[in-house]
Amino acid sequence: MSFYREYILPGIVNHLCSSSPITRQREKIVRQATGRVLEIGVGSGLNFPFYDHRKVSLLIGLEPSLKMISMAEKRAQRRMDRVSFLDASACQIPLESNSIDSVVVTYTLCTIPDILSALKEMYRVPKPGGKLYFCEHGLAPDKAVLKWQNRLTSLWRYIAGGCHLNRRIPELIEGEGFYIQEMKTTYLPGPRPLTFNYWGRGIKR
Residue nearest to ligand SAM according to CB distances in the complex: 43
Least spacing, CB of residue 63 vs ligand SAM, in Å: 6
- Contact pick of 25, 65, 153, 197 for ligand SAM (by CB under 6 A): 65
Range 182-188, long-range pairs (CB < 8 A, 24+ positions): 185/141, 187/140, 188/21, 188/22, 188/25
Shortest spacing between CB 37 and ligand SAM, in angstroms: 13
The burial class, CB within 10 Å (0-12 / 13-18 / 19+), for 163 is: buried
Among the listed residues 175, 170, 131, 161, the one whose alpha carbon sits nearest the alpha carbon of residue 35: 131
Q: Residue 105 Cβ, how far from ligand SAM at the closest point, in Å? A: 7
DSSP per residue, 75-133: HHHHH-SSEEEE---TTS--S-TT-EEEEEEES-TTT-SSHHHHHHHHHHSEEEEEEEE
Judged by beta carbon, residue 87 or residue 142, the one nearer ligand SAM is 87
Q: How far is the CB of 125 from ligand SAM (least distance, A)?
A: 13
Nearest partner of 194 among 158, 133, 152, judged by Cα: 152
CB of 144 to ligand SAM, least distance (A): 25
| Rounded Cα gap, residues 200 and 34, in angstroms | 15
- Tell whether residue 61 is a contact of ligand SAM (CB under 6 A): no
Binding segment (CB under 6 A) for ligand SAM, from list 58-66, 79-87, 139-147, 195-203: 58-66
Decide: is 33 part of the binding site for ligand SAM (CB under 6 A): no
Binding-residue pattern over the window 95 to 134 for ligand SAM, x denoting contact by CB under 6 A: -----------xxx--xx-----x----------------
For ligand SAM, the closer of residues 63 and 176 by Cβ is 63
Q: Is 63 exposed, middle or buried (0-12, 13-18, 19+ CB in 10 A)?
A: buried
- Chain residues that interact with ligand SAM, rule: CB under 6 A: 13, 17, 40-41, 43, 46, 62-65, 68, 89-91, 106-108, 111-112, 118
